[in-house]
Structure formats: C-alpha cells, structure tokens
Structure 1
Amino acid sequence: MGKLTELHEEALQDTKRKIKEDIFRFMETKEEAPSFDDYLNERIHYIEQLWVNVWLNKVTNFVSRSEKKAFLREKDYEVEGIDKKVINQVFRNEMRDFQPFEVIPWLQGLADSQADQWKERYETAREGYLLRLEQDKIEDEQKRVTQEIMKSLINTFQERKQSWYLPVRFAVARKLVSDLKEKVRYEQVDTFMLEEQLKEIGPFNPEDYRTLSDFFQELNGLIHRTLHRGRSYWEYETYYFVYEEYVSQFVMKTFPKSLLSLVSEEHLNMHQSAFDVALSSSEIRKWMQHDFFDQSAIYMDHLQEEYVEDLLDLADSQNEEDHAAIYEKDVARRAERRAAELAELHRKKQEEDRMMDDIFGREYSVSLGGNTKYILHIGETNTGKTHHALESMKQAESGLYLAPLRLLALEVYDRLNNEGVPCNLKTGEEEKSVPGSRHVSCTVEMFYEKESYDVVVIDEAQMMADKDRGFSWFKAITKARAREVHIIGSRNVKPMLLGLLENCEVEINEYSRDIPLEVEQREFSLKHAKRGDALVCFSRRRVLETASKLQNSGHSVSMIYGSMPPETRKKQMQRFIKGETKVIVATDAIGMGLNLPIRRIVFLENDKFDGTRRRTLASQEVKQIAGRAGRKGIYDVGKVAFTKDIKRMAKLLEQEDEPVQSFAIAPTTSVFERFQKYHHDLGRFFELWEKFESPFGTQKASLYEERELYELVRGTEIEGRLSMMDLYGFLHLPFSKKEPELTSQWLETMDAIISGTDLPEPKLKRKNLEQQEVAYKAVGLHLLFLYRLGHRTEAIYWERLRDDIADGVHESLDTEVSTMTMKCKRCGKRLPSGFKFPICDSCHYSRVRKRGGRRERKDSR
C-alpha cells in the first residue's frame, strides 16, 4: 500500500527527531558530559518502545477504514460486518511487525559517525539549561516584587476608592451638562423594527429628569447587541451604556496615575531593580484592571441615585476642594427629598385608590331583580335544554333570546317566525323588524339592561368564563328585567350560577342524554368516513384540506368553520340535514348549539391553538363537541372516534368538568361616566383598567384589541373630535381586527366620520373563496358603522349585497374545494398534503437568512 509506505517514512523521521530531542534533555541536567553508553543504559526502554508508539499512532489515525479492511482482506481476514473497534485492533496487531525500524543499531551508527560532536552537543545543551535556570530565578524575583507592590496598591485603593468617587462625580456632572445642551432627544416610533425608526423630538429639558437614572433611560440614537438568557438581541442603546463606558474609561485613565503617585520609594526601587525599568501607570492599569472595572460598576450604581439638579449645580463649581462638602450636603438633601417623595407617592396612591374605588369599586356587584324567577337549564350538549327554554319564551307575551353566535340568533329568529310567533332580529350587523312583534332574537352583546320582557332566555351561560366576551353573559344574567329568566348552560357553570343567584327564586332543570355516547376503539382514518359523520378539526385551512380529500375520494361534503358567513353555514347545514351531503367537516363551531343529524363525531385533532399556545383539548370542549353525536329517532347511539390516543381522549369524556371558577368583567357605561369626572383621556383609562384588580371570582377582559386600535388613532384628530364614549364604542365594534384589510377599512371610515364625508365603500375582491370571505367581513364591518350611525335605509342595500356574497361563498365551496391545493403564501409553490405551515421550507429558510443578513448590517453600523 502506497499510503503505508508514505506513513512509514513519516514515522521514521518523527522517531529520529524525538530521540535527538531526548538526548538533548538527557545531557542538559548532567554536571559532567555523559557518554553515549550512559545515555543508552538509562533510556533504553524509552528508545525501544518509541518506534512502536509513533508507528501505530500514525497508521491508526491516518489510514482510512476502507484501506484497513482492504489490507486485512489480503491477509485472509473476514472483515465484512465486523465492528470498527475490532477492525482497528486487528490492524494494529498486524502493523506491529510491518517493516520494523531497528532503533538501537541506527542510534549506535549515529553515535559512531558523530562522536566528535557529542561533547559539543553537551556543552550547548548545558549552556541553555543554565540560562533557563537563571531566567526562572529572575522571573521568580519579578513575581515576588509584583505581588508585594500589588498588595500595597490594593490596600491604598481600598482606602481611597470612596473619596475618589468625587472626581468621577464631577466629570459625569460636566458631561451631563454638555449632553443636555448639545444632544438631541429621540423617541422610538416602532418597538419591533430597528432600522430608521427613531424620531427626533427636540432638545433635552433638564427639568424632565429627577435622578440620573431617569436620564439614563433616554435613547442616544445608536443600536447595540445585548445578551438576554444566553441569546443575542439587537436593541436601541440608552445613555446608561454611554455613561457606563465613560465612567469606566475615566477610572482606567486617572486611577492608575493617582495610585502611581502614592507608591513608596522603596517599591519603586524594587521594581526598577527587578524589571530594569521604572514602574508606570500602564503597568498598574494592567495589574488592577478587574478591580477598576468592578469599582466603575459600583460608581454607576451611586450615580443613578444622584439628582440631576445637584449634578448641574456641581458642574458650575470650579474649586475641587469644595466637592467633598458639596457631596455631603447633597447626600443629606437626598434623604430629605426621598422622604418627601415617598410621602407624595403615598398621598397619590391613596388618591388613586379612592378614584379606582369610585370608578370600578361597586360596578361589578350583583344587582338582581327582586320579582324575577330564574330557571336554570343545566346539562350536556344535545339534551333539549334550549328547546324547553324557547317553548317558555314562545308562550310569553314578550321575550328576548340572547345567543352566543349570530347564526344561532338567525336560527331562533327563523324558527319563531315559522312557528307563528313574530320575532325581530338584532345583531351588530343587521336588524330585521317583523310587524306586531314583541319577541327579539339577538346576540348577547346587544342586550340592553333598561328594556323589560316577560321571558328572557340566555344561551350557553358557561361562556361567562370567556376573558373577552364573558361580561356580556354576566351582565345579561344579573341585569335582566323579566318575570322569568331562563339560563342555559353546561354542568360546570351550575355552582357559579347558584352563587350569583343565592338570594333569588331559582328553579333547576337538569338534563341528561337519552342517547348514549360510544367511543370506537379503532383509530380513525379518512378512508373510514361514512354517511352521517362529522369530522372536527381546529382551523379553516384544515377543514378545507380535509373536505378536498373527501370530495376527491367520492364523498359529498358540507363544511362549517368560524369565518364562514352564517348564511353560508346555514346552507351547508341544510344540505347535510337533507342528506344532500354525506359528511360534514367542521371546526369546534359545531359544538355551539347546532343541532344536526350526526351519527359519529370524529376528532381529527386532539389539540388546538387557543391564541397563545397549542394545547390539548379540555374535558368540557371534548364533551361539548362529542355531544353533537346521535339524534333521537335517527341515530339512537352517538359514536365518537379519534385518530390517536383513544384511551386518553375517552377519559376526557368521562371526566368530571372543572367548575367555572370566575366570570369575565368589562367596562360599562357607568364606569366610563365616573371615569370622566377625573380624566378625559382613553389612554389613561386603559392604564387604570390594567391597574384595577378585579374582585374575587372575576376576570378582567383584556381589551387587547381595543388598545391596539386605539394606538392607531391616539393623539390624532379622530381622538380629538370624538367623545371618549363614542370613540370607545367604535373601538369595541365586533370585527376581525387581525385582518389588515379590515383594520385599514375601520381607520378610513373613522376619518370619514370626523371629516363629515360619506362613509367609504368597502374594497371588495371576489375572485376566489378566501377573497369572498374577506369581502363578507368587510361588508359586515360597513354595516356595523351604518347601524351605529343610524343609516338604516342605506344598510338595506349592503345587507342584500352581503347575502349575495354569502351565496358566492357557498358556490365557491362547491367548485373550488374539490380542486384546491394548498399553496405557499409567499411564492405560490404547491405544499405537500398535510403540510402544517402556511409557507414552504424554502421561503422559511430564505426569511431566516434575511433576518441574519439584517442583523449583520446592523452590526456593521
């Protein structure tokens, strides 16, 4: 093997070099020149073993596995399927006797041929050895001198470091004066983007800052990289980092010089003698840099407590001898100031507490009608709770039905009118009046507490726990003015309802399923789909993708998902009810009051994204959805199937639900009225709402979407021209604020309202299913404005147009879904079936690389 020959030559040269080095080390420690035989006798074992070690290491590390196997195969070894370690061991054994190098004869020949150089080599080795000993002695002395001087310097520094804060303080005071006069103040326009997003807002005003810590929070216009929990981030730099570097440099520059001036003559001479050079401030800086850096950090802590006013006065002082007295006076004044500030903070806190109690304190206490009877309809899904409550409402002279969804309000509106009970419809997006009607079907948000009815029906009361919408249920339950209030809910809301109604007349009707639920033990796949199945997943995208697969395999399919127009959803349901479609694919919207002839509920997913994280379904969610399986007289057993984890999911069906522990609260008209006694700024209201601690058993609505919209109009003419109540009403309009097109439409409409011009018509694109769904929402938002502004005649046209769009959505579901393919939202490339993300891998990695490039550009800046 050519490789072995090459390595053999390298091993020879390495062995000879190591032996010559060993001879040199052997000679240098001897006081008299040793003979070759002396060396040989003492080092024979090392010399004999050296070749084998060098050679085996070479061939083990630099001969590939395939070459080793080829060599062993020629030696008739079986090498296929043999462990790598065994191959190496066998190969090393073979190499031990491969062209051995006779070290002793070579060394003897070398000694014979260079006998006259042996003594000369000894003298060179000995001379170098003695020089090293002398250098070691000098270095030991230098180390001793350094340690002694360092000990003295550290003691001196410890004694003086507190008094040396005074020159640091004075230098910072002068820099502060310069910065406040010459620098520009910035504010951050965009809290997420770091490129060209700073805005100059004029010069600094010293009176804006109490302490230096306040000034340190200002941005200086630069960007720097910072570490947080081990990860690197880019952020705008504040003046804290500017002054941190300034103090550090000041200390590193001045303190070594000051310490040098305090070194004793004895230590200066010791250093001169040991190093043959005078001690310098740069040498002291090098020795004590860690002490200086640590002290700089301590000085920064002291500086942050300094009052800006004191530092500005100090900067005018020309006599450094006065600085100690000034500092003592400032420290004494600082204690007085802090006591006064704490007293003022305490006063303001008490004042704010009184204001908060006045604004929010008693608003969320229960206020129930004394002559009202409350009838609870408690039970599982699909047990007839809503039917029994509505029967009572139909027989009353006047009634109000409050639904969680617009679709359910529409369903009850149609049902009552079809059964001869005139009923009006009222949702945020439409109002329909029927002559002679004294009944109303509406969404729960439309409840108005000053209206009276004989019977009020409140559906899905467990929604009280929803952090954003729950207060609408709480308000309806506690403020309803009626002879009878029928409350419909799941079993887990019963304790909460009884707590709210403990002093009232309460009748409880509990419902159980007549139709049992049966969990299938076989894992479901799409090929098992049959007539009467409802397949449940938790995103629009998954619904459409699943429906497409089923249609392409010969199934007729209905679809239901949250963003689908209610009119379209109703048509999809009717097709399933009439048997025109065999299977329905839906999100969890199917679990909210939709009565369908479903034979089997199939959970295609066991978890869902709840807006914050992806989590496993809760027991109540599984029951709510699974309860839709079975229909008396059609399917006397409701079946439930899962695609995986059947035992775990089946336990959730049997598990007792966690009781509803709290209900959501939100701002009311009364709250806003009391708030306006103190402030007229909606931004301040959001701050106080954040501070307000909701009473025990309640949970504040986040108002996140309202705050996000408010930031778009804060400080603009829109805020200036509208009353606070009117502005909040527009912020609170129920539309999908995550859709950029709708947010833009909202903003354009707000501009038109305050300018007194006609409302802009929605920009409608209707080429495909997705565009039509957005168009439907856009018209819905336009109707919200029209009804709020009282433009009911104009609303009629837009309601008709919305119905037309809903028809288009229904048609698109029939035509587009069967041929649809999931495409990357960025490049349009077709995505594989079942792909979990909206963009392809290439676009994802491209975006990651661009982010990395952007960070590099910022670094270079």
Structure 2
Amino acid sequence: MDQLEKVHHHAVEHTKRKVHEDINRFLETKEEMPSFETYKRERQPYIEQIWTNVWINKASNDVSKRGKRAFLTDIGYDVEGVSRKIINKLFRDEIKLYMPFDVIGWLDERYAENHEYWASKYQKSRSAYIEREEERILKEKRSAIEREIEITAYKKLEKRAFLYFLYVRHLMGEHIAKVTPEITARVEKVWELYEEPTGAVLFGDDWRSYKHGRVDETYYHVFDQLIDNKLYGPIAKEILDDLPKHLREQYDALSDQTLTSSTLMWMIMEEIEEFKIDWLSHMQEEYIDDLLLLAHVPFDEERHQAMYEESLEKRKQREAEELAEIERQKEEEERMLEDIFGREYRPQTGRDIRYVLHIGETNTGKTHHALKQMKKGKTGLYLAPLRLLALEVYEKLNNEGLDSGLKTGEEEKDLDDATHLSCTVEMFHERDFFDVVVIDEAQMITDKDRGFSWYKAITNVNANEVHIIGSNNAKSIVLELLGDANIDIYDYERDIPLQVESSPFKIQQTEKGDALVCFSRKRVLETASKLRKDGYSVSMIYGSMPPETRKKQMERFIKGETTVIVSTDAIGMGLNLPIRRIVFLENEKFDGTKRRRLTSQEVKQIAGRAGRKGIYNVGKVAFTKDIQLMTRLIEQPDEPVQSFAIAPTNNVFERFQKYYRDLGTFFELWDKFDSPYGTIKATLSEERELYELIRGTEIEGRLSMMDLYGFLHLPFSKKEMPLILQWKNKMKAIARGGELPEPKIKTDTLEDLELTYKSLGLHLLFLYRLGRQTEAIYWERVREEISDDVHEHLKTDMTVYNKKCKYCGRSLPFEFPHTMCDDCHSKRYRRRFTKS
C-alpha cells in the first residue's frame, strides 16, 4: 500500500492548491471583504467535490495495474482473469470513499479563527486582481490605437499603391538589365523570367523558400527580396511622416516608447505583403523589352506613368495580334483536322448498292437467311464478330461445296481459289469487291473499342448487295448511316416463346439441356467442377478459351456427349446450340471498370439462346434472385442505339502524313478532333500504351508510321504482361532485321495452356502481317495441338477448381455468396474495428 499512500499524499496537496485558487477567485471580485463563513456556505459543495475528483483521477492514473489488483484483493474481490476494463471500474468505485480527506475541517483549522490571515488573503487577492484589470484595460487601449494606426496606414498605402507599383517596375527594369543576355534573349514576358533559376540555393531558414529544406532560387525570389529591401523601409517612413499627430502621441503615451518607422513597418507588414503579391502578379504579363527601357531612366512619377501607359497600350496591341495569330492557327488546325478526319466519318451517299437489313431478336434465323443469299452470289464475304463464328461459317460453306476461304488475322486458309470469304470484321478492306456481303451483329457498332470496324464495313463496303444483321436497337442507326440508299428491311420474331421460371434456381435443379451463365472464367470452372462432382457431364465456354476448343466443347453438347453447358456471356453471340433453359447464376458483371447489373439488351441477347425449333419449342429462362426485376429487363422494349464508335482508317493515316510523320502527333490530333454528332471516338488507349513502350526508340525510327500503327493495332490481349513483352521483343527483332523470337510453350496447367495459345496467336499475327504464310502453317499446327490439350484438360481434370476463400484457401459451399469465408471476414473486421 506504499504506492497508494504516496498517491494519497499528492492528491491532498493538489486539492489544497485548487482550494486556495478557488478562494482567490472568490475574494478578488468582491469590493468589500466577505467573511470566511460566507465563503464556506457558498462554496462547500464545490470544495468537497474537488477532493473527490482529484483523488479518483490521481488514484486511477497513478496506481499501477498490479497495485489496483492488490487493493481489490485486500478488500475481498477475486480478480483472477478479470479484464483490465472491469478492474479499472471496480477500483474507481471502491477508491472513492477510501482514505477520505476532510477538506472543510482543514479549511476551518486554517481560517475559522484566524480573521487576520483571512483579511490578509483578501487584500492580496484583491490587489492582484485590480493590477491585472488595469493591465488589461491598458492593453486594450494599446491594441485599439495600434489598430487605428494600421487602418490609417493601410488607407495611405492604398492611396499610394500605384506610385509604388511604378517604382517596382523601375526597380525590376534596373535589375533585369543586369541579368545575363542569354536569359533575357530566351524569355519574352516577366512570368517566364520568374521561372528561370539563378543558380543559387535557398534553405528552409529563409521563409521565402516557402518550404523546409533546399530550394533552387528563381528570379521570382530575387524580385520578391528586391522589393523587401528597397521599398519596405521607405514606405513605412513615408506613411509614418504622414500619420496624424494625435495617433503618434497616443501610441507614445500608451506604449512608453516612440513610434518609429521600423515599428510601423512590422505593424503593417501583412498589408504591404498583400500589395507586393499584387504587384508581382500584375507584373508577370509585362514584356521584358518594355521594362528594359526603364533601366536608364531616373525615376519620375509622371514620366514613368506615361511610359507605363505607353507600354500598356503596346501590350494590348501585341496581345490582340497574338490572339489573332492563335485564332488563325486554331482555324488552320480545324481545317487540318477536317481534312484528316472529318470527311472520313460522313456516310457515303448515292452508291449503287442494294442493302438488306435483317433485324430481330436472338435465335430468329437472321444469319441463316442472310448467308443463304450470300451463297447465291458469284463472290461473297461474311464478316463475323468472333473468330469462332468466322470458322463456323467457313466450314459450313466448304461443306456445302463452295470454294471458301478463312481470314482472321491469326490464320489464313484456302484464300487462293476462294470465291467466298469468311472473316472477322477487322479484316474488312474497302477496296475489295464482292457480289454479296454479310455483316453480322451490327449492334456491335456501339462497342467503344471495336465498333469502328462495323462502321467502316457498313459505310465503305464495295458490293452489289449487302446484308446487315442486327438486333432491334441497331435498326435506326443503321438506317441513318445508309441515308437514302436502296434498302429492304426484314423484321424477324421468335417462333419459340421465352418462359421465365417463377422460383429462384438452385444448382441441384440442373437438368439436361441447361446452359448455366456466369461472368468470369473462374466462376465457369468452379461451376463445371461442382456439376461434374454431382454426376453431370459438362461443356464449357468462356472468352479466353481457344476458339477450336470452344467449338469442340459445343460439339460435345450438340452430340449429347455432355448434358449441361456452363458459359460466360460469350454464349450470347452467334452460337446456335440445343439449349432447353438458360440459367443466370449472376445478374451482374464486371465491365472492366466496375461491377454493374446486366442491361436489358445483354439479358435478352443471352436469354434468347434458350429454345431450339423441333427440340425445345419453349425456351426457358431461370434466375437465382431478383426474378421480377430481371423479367422486366427481358420484356423491356429495345432502346435505339444513339451513338457509335469511330477510329482511324488507312485513308486517315494517308491524309495525316501530308502534315506530320510521327504517331505521337497523330494521337494528339486525334484527341483534338471533335467527332461528328452521334459518334464516339475510340480511346486508342491500348495502342497508346504500347506506343509509349517504344516511343523514341530504334523501333519507331526504323518503321514507317502506318506499319508501326498496324503492329500497335494487332488484336491481342494487351492486359497480360507476358504478351506485351513478347510483342515488344518481336518489334525489336523487326527493327533490327533479326528473326522473330519464337513463343514460349508451357503446358503444366490450364492457365499455362491458355497463355501459350494466346502467345502462339500473337506470333501468328506477326507472321501473317509480315507475309510469312508458309512459316505460319507450322505454328497453326502447334496452336491446334495446344487447343487439343486445353480441350482434354477441360474434359478430364476439373477437380482443382473448387470454390475457395481467397485469403485462407478453405473450401466454400458452391452457393456461398462471398469470396472469403466467415472466419476471415470476422478476423479482418475485428482488426479494422480494433485499429479504429
């Protein structure tokens, strides 16, 4: 208990000090001395509370945890295993009445019978109070006169501000004349000189460096210091001499000292600083040569004012000329932008082409009817949104006896004798003529990255007859693009109705003919793994899957080798499968920026794959949640497309090269170009990112601009670093005239196989672009083998794709709604709560 007794002693002494302070406050404001009994009567509750507060706080803060436990144990508490918070509360409750201090008794003993001591206490308290009050009143009077002086000085400073500004110009002109000619020759205006370094260094001790540590001095700092040194003192002296006499006399009387210019300068320093900042700011638009004229002209207010007005007039004239030149350059740039870009994105009119629009929902036979017409033509071209669809149509045409070729950028087949070509839309070339052309999935014209390929095909196609296939929402914009052309329109409706199931879908309800849709490769693999463990045979489709693998997966489903298909939204475009029911396992998707709910068009595009005439005469649709909301999206009328994407064409690049020859400038002009109403410029973000990797290198130096852009525009996954590095290494090899580095082949995991497939695809893009078709044949075979390996992996080895917590790796139930387990969530939440 030694510790507690020591704390008690300190608490008693602290209480006595606080009571003495309270007595002083009580006595000092009384003009007549109150009796001790009067004080005690009025202040007793407060005095007693002082002890309680002091004792509890001191004991709580100064007694150790061990001391508190010992105290509580001594008075009968069992504190073994009790938390610190409860120990503290018990201690505060019990200590309140322990070892009390009789404050009132102590006061009675000191003052009750000692009237002289009480009177002495009153006199001292009262005298100290009166002295403080007199000092306070004097201080207020001093502050008031200082404030009046500051206001008067500011008005006088404001009145003379223009004169001082003229003098600042004169000072700066003199100083600029001493600056080296090399500097003044390369700057035109004062603001440019402000930014020029002097070669000296400022340090944190100098408040003008604006921050702690080392700062390179500029001429702004020099002029700032120049005004301080040359003007502050004279300004203060001039204003002091002009101050009313009574103000100076009052200041002298109240301060016991004479008001000097130095004292006045510090009083109005802040006001002078405001004017200085304004002068320096006002000066920044002045021309250096105007100030140099002042250097050898002695300062005279009238003469310097005349010179300022003359320079002001000249500056206005020069600024008007500069604005006129800027306007001329702007107009010239607008004419250039119109010449390079503008005329490229106006739909061509008056062309002798028959257009046929096939408009309708998914799975209504639009593509079938359009291809039927294409096959009748002597020559034909099918433009697909996906390699898989191009491959499908190529094989279909060949099976029907037509000489068909395939061109997708990553492969070329049977092109020499082909009368009909099946291509991805990016392979379209406006100078090639065909009897009949089919452009599929025209609503893709709105895609911010690929939409311009549909725009180019629709508006620049060279054919006798063009069939354009699209959803209902694309109809109005296609008609607008075609203008007054010869157009036939065929509207298609589903023969097979869609039926939305009223109950939420559970994975256990999966049946033969179902297509389960989710929106990530990871979720597809997890779902397929779950279904296989439950005894289902499963096919899979997702975006990064090789098209050949995707085709084999589809064929297994069509032939009945698998009964269920699990897919991303890739199933929604052009894939005709015997699907009984489309099941949305998710209602949201990540669009590259954020997770968002599916749009009405996306839901309809995917749901439309349900049903197959003669097999399933009703297409069923199921959701895991929000059934009413998702049903409304299916039933919602299509909103017409309001805009479409545009991007550079070969013609644009050819016209650009009349003016410039580098891609950096091209990207700058593309940003400045205001695309026509109803269009959205492609961001070209991926091309720019690749360009920054090789900008200013030998690659840019040795390739023509159009060749370089062609390599920047190659259609590969530009989000994957291994592919970007591969692209860069191949570009170096081309620039140096060396052999293209061969792609690395890794086959350990599914991820390795898929990346290897993409790597081979990029290699083939280079080979075909460089005209090395013979060499490409070998690599196509290698890629086909990798595709087979992916297919076999998906057929046999799916056990590793369980749903797991992303933090601890623990297996999670399939329908668990989160990506981390409850334990990890609890730990992370508890850690955040504790920190806060």
TM-score category of the 2 structures, normalised to the smaller one: 0.7 to 0.9
In 1, Cα distance between equivalents of 2:268 and 2:447: 61
Change (3 A) 1:367 1:130: closer
- Match for residue 184 of structure 1? none
CA deviations 1:796-831 (Å, max 9, x no partner) are 111111112222222333455421468999xx9748
Deviation at 1:428, TM superposition (A): 0.9
Partner of 2:345: 364
State whether structure 2 residue 611 is matched by structure 1 residue 630.
yes
Q: Is the 8 A contact 1:409 1:443 kept in 2?
A: yes
Distance (Å, rounded) in 2 between the aligned partners of 1:339 and 1:324: 22
Are positions 1:606 and 2:606 aligned together?
Answer: no
Q: Give the distance between the partners of 2:508 and 2:172, measured in 1 at CA.
A: 77
Name which of structure 1's ranges 612-621 and 161-170 shifts more when overlaid on structure 2: 161-170
User: 1:428 — aligned with what?
Assistant: 409
Q: CA distance change for structure 1 residues 348 and 601 in 2, over 3 Å: closer, same or farther?
A: same
Pairwise CA distance, 1:707: 2.3
Provide the residue aligned with 1:853 in structure 2: none
Q: 1:614 to 1:244 in 2, by over 3 A?
A: farther
- Gap change, CA 1:247 and 1:790, over 3 Å in 2: same
Residue 766 (structure 1) aligned to one of 747, 769, 788: 747
Q: Report the Cα distance in structure 2 between the residues aligned to 1:808 and 1:170, rounded to whole angstroms.
A: 83
1:455 is matched with: 436
Structure 1 partner of 2:48: 51
Does 2:396 align with 1:415?
yes
Residues 1:274 and 2:254 are matched in the alignment: yes
User: How far does residue 58 in structure 1 lie from its aligned partner after superposition?
Assistant: 7.4
> For 2:236, which of 252, 255, 260 is the aligned residue?
260
Shift in Å, 1:412: 0.6
User: What's the secondary structure of 1:161's corresponding residue?
Assistant: helix
Question: Partner residue of 1:402?
Answer: 383
Q: 2:492 aligns with which of 511, 514, 519?
A: 511
Q: Indicate yes or no: 2:655 matched with 1:688.
A: no
TM-aligned CA deviation for residue 649 of structure 1:
2.0
Say whether 1:117 aligns with 2:124. no
Following the alignment from structure 1 to structure 2, what is the Cα–Cα distance between the partners of residues 802 and 770? 15
1:305 alignment partner in structure 2: 285
Which residue of the partner structure matches residue 78 of structure 1? none
Q: Secondary structure at the match of 1:615?
A: strand
| Per-residue Cα deviation, 1:624-644 (whole angstroms, up to 9, x for no partner) | 111112222333332222333
Confirm or deny: 8 A CA contact 2:517 2:585 kept in the other structure: yes
Cα root mean square deviation, aligned: 4.4
Whether the aligned pair in 2 keeps the contact of 1:218 and 1:238 (CA below 8 Å) is no
Residue by residue over 1:163-218, the C-alpha shift from the partner in whole angstroms, topping out at 9 and shown as x without a partner, is: 3345655676788899989xxxxxxxxxxxxxxxxxxxxxx976665444457788
Provide the residue aligned with 2:323 in structure 1. Answer: 342
Separation of aligned partners in 1, 2:470 and 2:44: 93
Amino acid at match of 1:275: S
Deviation at 1:253, TM superposition (A): 6.0
The amino acid of 2:38's aligned partner reads N
- Count of residue pairs the alignment pairs up: 784
2: distance between equivalents of 1:243 and 1:508? 72
Greater CA deviation, 584-593 or 422-431? 584-593
Is the contact made by 2:190 and 2:288 (CA closer than 8 Å) also made in structure 1?
yes
Aligned partner letter, 1:298? D
Q: Closer, same or farther in 2 for the Cα pair 1:103/1:365, shift >3 Å?
A: closer
Shift of 1:60: 11
In structure 2, what is the equivalent of residue 295 of structure 1?
A: 275
Q: State the partner residue of 2:546.
A: 565
Q: Aligned equivalents of 1:297 and 1:831: distance in 2?
A: 65
Distance, in Å, in 1 between the alignment partners of 2:43 and 2:590 is 70
- Show structure 2 runs of 5+ residues with no match: 62-67, 76-88, 201-210
- From 796, 800, 811, the counterpart of 2:777: 796
Match of 1:477 among 453, 458, 468: 458
CA distance in 2, matches of 1:742, 1:315: 64
Match of 2:141 in 1: 141
CA 744–104 in structure 1, closer or farther in 2 if over 3 Å, else same: closer
* CA-CA distance at 1:364 after TM superposition: 2.0
Q: Which residue of 1 aligns with 2:154?
A: 154
Correspondence 1:769-788 to 2 at 5 A: 769-788=750-769
- Looking at structure 2, the residues matched to 725 and 432 of structure 1 have their Cα atoms a distance apart, in angstroms, of 26
Q: Is the 8 Å Cα contact of residues 733 and 739 (structure 2) preserved in structure 1?
A: yes
CA contact (8 A) 2:439 2:467 kept: yes
TM-score by length of 2: 0.82
Q: Which runs of 5+ in 1 are unaligned?
A: 75-87, 182-203, 223-233, 850-861
Q: CA deviation at 1:653?
A: 0.9
Contact in 2 for aligned 1:821/1:830 (Cα 8 Å): no
- Residue 163 to residue 351, structure 1, CA distance change in 2 (3 Å): same
Secondary structure of the equivalent of 1:121?
helix
**Is it true that 1:643 corresponds to 2:630 in the alignment?**
no
In 2, are the aligned partners of 1:251 and 1:292 still within 8 Å (CA)?
no
Measure how far apart 1:593 and its partner are. 0.7
Deviation at 1:340, TM superposition (A): 0.8
Per the alignment, residue 82 of structure 1 pairs with none
Counterpart of 1:83 in structure 2 is none
Tell me by how many angstroms 1:619 deviates: 0.9
Q: Is 1:737 matched with 2:718?
A: yes
* Residue 16 (structure 1) shift: 5.1
Give matches, 1:187-198, under 5 Å: none
Q: How far apart, CA to CA, are the structure 1 residues paired with 2:6 and 2:233? A: 62
Contact 2:170–2:294 (8 Å) recurs in 1? yes
Residues in 1 aligned to 2:491 and 2:276: alpha-carbon distance in whole angstroms: 72
Match of 1:538 in 2: 519
| Alpha-carbon separation, structure 2, partners of 1:342 and 1:763 | 58
- Counterparts in 2 of 1:781 and 1:308: CA distance versus 1, 3 Å: farther
Secondary structure of the corresponding residue to residue 430 of structure 2: coil
Matched, 1:40 2:40: no
Listed one character per residue, the Cα deviations across residues 561-581 of structure 1 (whole Å, up to 9, x for unaligned) are 222211121122222223333
Tell me if structure 1 keeps the 8 A contact 2:754–2:790: yes
* CA displacement, residues 596-655 of structure 1 (integer Å, 9 cap, x when unaligned): 222222223322232333322211111111111222233333222233322222211111
CA distance in 1, matches of 2:127, 2:390: 105
Residue of structure 2 in register with 1:333 after alignment:
314
Aligned-partner Cα distance in 1 for 2:179–2:527? 64
CA contact (8 A) 1:424 1:431 kept: yes
CA contact (8 A) 2:452 2:644 kept: yes
2:80 match: none
CA distance in 2, matches of 1:164, 1:633: 96
**What is the deviation of 1:457?**
0.9
For the residues of structure 2 that align with 1:127 and 1:250, how far apart are their CA atoms? 52
The CA deviation string for residues 324-353 of structure 1, in whole angstroms up to 9 with x for no partner, is 665444333211210110111122222222
- Provide closer, same or farther for how the CA distance between residues 476 and 207 of structure 1 changes in structure 2, counting only shifts above 3 A: farther
Helix, strand or coil: the match of 1:429?
A: coil
Pick closer, same or farther for the CA change 1:364–1:112 going to 2, 3 Å: closer
Under a length normalisation based on structure 1, what TM-score does the superposition of the two structures give?
0.80
Partner of 1:381: 362
134 and 436 in structure 1: CA distance in 2 versus 1, 3 angstrom threshold: closer
The answer to whether the 8 Å contact 1:19/1:47 transfers is no
SS in 2 for 1:534: strand
Distance 1:98 1:824 in 2: 56
Residue in structure 1 matched with residue 28 of structure 2 by the alignment: 28
AA partner of residue 447 (structure 1): F
How big is the shift at 1:447? 1.3
Q: Deviations over 1:688-707 (max 9, x none)?
A: 22222222222222222222
Report % sequence identity: 52
Paired residues of 2:48 and 2:104 also in contact (CA < 8 A): no
What's the secondary structure of 1:819's corresponding residue?
Answer: coil
Provide the C-alpha distance between the structure 2 equivalents of 1:179 and 1:532, rounded to a whole number of angstroms.
86
Q: 1:5 to 1:603 in 2, by over 3 A?
A: farther
Q: 1:411, CA displacement in angstroms?
A: 0.7
Relative to structure 1, the CA distance from residue 732 to residue 175 in structure 2 (aligned partners, 3 Å threshold; closer, same or farther) is farther
